[in-house]
Amino acid sequence: MKASTIAEREARGRAARDHSKRSSHRAVGELHRDPIELLKQSSAERVERLAPLRYGRMAVSPFTFFRGSAILQAHDLSKVHDTGLSMPICGDGHLMNFGGFATPERQLIFDLNDFDEVAIGPFEWDLKRLCASLVVAARHMRLSRGTAESLVMTAVRSYRDRIAQYAQFGALELWYDRITFDRMAEIALTPEGRRAVRRGMEKAASRTHENLLEKMASFDGNRWKIHDAPPALFHILGANTLFTAEETETYRTGNVDKMVEQVWNEYRKSLAHDRRELLDHFTRQDIVFKVVGVGSVGTRCLVVLLVDHMGKPLFLQLKEARPSVIAQFYKSPALKHQGERVVQGQRMLQAASDVFLGWGTGPLGRHFYFRQLRDMKLSANIELFDSELLDGYARLCGWIMARAHAKASGQAIEISSYIGRGDQFAEALAGYASAYADQVERDYDVFMKACRSGKLEARTDEDMAADFSM
């Protein structure tokens, strides 16, 4: 097949403006939906007794509500015209789904780090989720309307400028590009920005499997056992389980060890040969259920503790992969395995991925993906940021998203030509983000009324933990 010339690809990007004008991205669309029904839909098939905890974590603020309700924005984005420039997108690229972690070469980089919703979709859907999150977060932090708008302009301009640079890259040059902490420190605009990067590097260096072992587990003379800390951490068949009696009986009669062995063998097959050899140096010690995040609460997430012949630990996380909310509202290719979708999407979008990233099918046909639990992983505590640091963070997120889209799609030329060199696209997204933040606040009010009326049950971590200390 004849390859398109650069001029033809630039023309394709500009032609997308005929389908979706850059100024049109200001529109939120006519939204006629019940947010409670959509939230209930996304809670289906989760661990039943954890649904109140999910809602309790979402109830903390409009920002935590936004983090836990990706299904709402995916639905809403499907109601307005898109560019037609579709590609692998993160699907949930809000500002808390970026973070630091170590590459296989032990280099500390900053990148997208959550891919539960990864799917084929229009590139701007990722940007709109990021921009809306910046405004919702700014309001939560009681920053001015002008500051919130400035954050969006910063993020989109950063995306625009970086995608224009990536449009000039060769294929290998783009594939090898990484946003390291050292690189971030070099380009930080202020001394405080450089100090924040250095503090992050120091903190990440302490977040190792060995440090985690000391906090999470103890040795009983024969093997390591992870401590229960309900509701966040518990053994499925233990006294502190949050599974129903019916569900625990299913696991008991099905023999949990046999179930784990089945998914483990499938997971091993998803790894490259050298990674399988590495994994085989470790023996399994214990497995527990772990409650994670905000939007993921109630999905089945397990932590496996393994040790090698020297007693050195490895913590692996098995996380349930459910159908992407993006795929529910944007026509995507049919996929056989949701865990494979997450893994392949992550490998395409990230600059470097976890050596233990893989997938398998668990009990009752549920799809899972595997990754390391900790391994120098770091997230930004944005509530401690001042407006200057937050502006630097917005610039970084725009850069990371541009690199991810350019690498995963090979369409940097088309995207750059669509956006152009001016501020028209950024101004439209600033208008969108402000209007959508208003919608988030309205939805949050409806959600809180449902919690107060008993239509939804919401409980805090502390409230649920108290059930186990009585």
pLDDT band at 470; cut points 50, 70, 90? low
What digits encode the pLDDT tens for the residues 292-329? 889 899 999 999 999 999 999 999 999 999 999 999 99
- Evaluate if residue 144 carries a pLDDT over 70: yes
Please name the residues in contact with 66: beta carbons below 8 A apart, sequence gap of 6 or more: 73, 94, 132, 133, 136, 440, 444
Supply the pLDDT for residue 253: 67
pLDDT cut 90: percent of the chain above it: 73
Pairing type for strands 86-89 and 119-122 reads antiparallel
Question: What's the rounded mean pLDDT across residues 161-166?
Answer: 98
The two tokens of residue 54 are 């999910």
Lowest mean pLDDT among 136-150, 209-223, 395-409: 209-223
Contact between residue 396 and residue 161 where contact means Cβ atoms under 8 Å apart: no
Confidence of residue 6 (pLDDT cuts 50, 70, 90): very high
Query: How much of the chain, in percent, has pLDDT values that exceed 70?
Result: 98
Tell me the residue ranges of DSSP E strands in 377-447.
378-379
Q: How many residues does the chain have?
A: 470
Q: Which two tokens stand for residue 229?
A: 């800390």
Sign of the dihedral defined by the CA atoms of residues 298, 301, 303, 304, in that order: positive
**pTM of the entire structure?**
0.94
In sequence order, the 6+-apart residues with CB closer than 8 A to the CB of 146 are none
According to DSSP, residue 113 is labeled: -
Averaged pLDDT, 144-160: 98
Is the pLDDT score of 363 beyond 90? no
pLDDT recorded at residue 364: 82
Q: Identify the three-state secondary structure at position 399.
A: helix
pLDDT at 1 over 60: no
Residue 343 has pLDDT above 70, yes or no: yes
Query: Structure tokens of 147?
Result: 């500051």
What local confidence, expressed as pLDDT, does residue 290 receive?
93
Residue whose C-alpha is closest to residue 396's, from 203, 198, 111, 174: 111
- Cβ-based neighbour number of residue 284 at 10 Å: 17
- The Cα–Cα gap between 49 and 298 comes to 8
* Of 450, 453, 441, 321, nearest in space to 55 by CA: 450
Burial of 61 (0-12, 13-18, 19+ CB in 10 A): middle
- Please list the alpha-helical segments (H only) found in 44-179: 51-58, 62-67, 70-77, 123-140, 145-166, 171-175
Chain mean pLDDT for the chain? 92
Q: Is the confidence at residue 222, as pLDDT, over 60? A: yes
Rounded to whole angstroms, the Cα distance separating 348 from 31 reads 33
Q: What number is the average pLDDT over the span 436-447?
A: 98
**8 A C-beta contact, residue 378 and residue 99:** yes
Pairing state between β 378-379 and 367-372: unpaired
Q: Any bridge partners for residue 180, and if so which?
A: 109
Determine the average pLDDT of the residues in 158-178. 97
Tokens standing for 112? 């997208």
Of 317, 407, 409, which Cα lies nearest the Cα of 370? Answer: 317
Distances 390 to 124, 156, 400 between C-alpha atoms, Å: 22, 14, 15
Does residue 231 have a cis bond before it (omega within 30 degrees)? yes
**Looking at the predicted structure, is the pLDDT value of residue 376 above 70?**
yes
Contact in structure between 466 and 192 (CB atoms under 8 Å): no
What totals of helices (H) and strands (E) does the chain contain, helices first?
Answer: 20, 13
User: Does the structure show a pLDDT above 60 at 447?
Assistant: yes
Q: Which of 403, 302, 427 is nearest to 98 (CA)?
A: 403
**Domain locations along the chain:** 6-205+378-466, 209-372
Q: What is the pLDDT of residues 396-427, one digit of tens each?
A: 999 999 999 999 999 999 999 999 999 999 99
Residue 395 CB contacts under 8 Å (≥ 6 apart), including other chains: 154, 155, 158
The backbone region for 170, taken as left when phi is positive above 0, alpha when psi lies in -120 to 50, beta otherwise, is beta
Q: Cα(430)–Cα(282) distance, rounded to whole angstroms?
A: 50
DSSP-assigned beta bridge partners for residue 301 = 319
pLDDT at 176 over 70: yes
Q: Most confidently modeled of 146-160, 193-207, 325-339?
A: 146-160
Which CA distances in Å does 103 have to 288, 355, 374? 26, 8, 12
The enclosing H or E element of 217 equals: strand 217-219
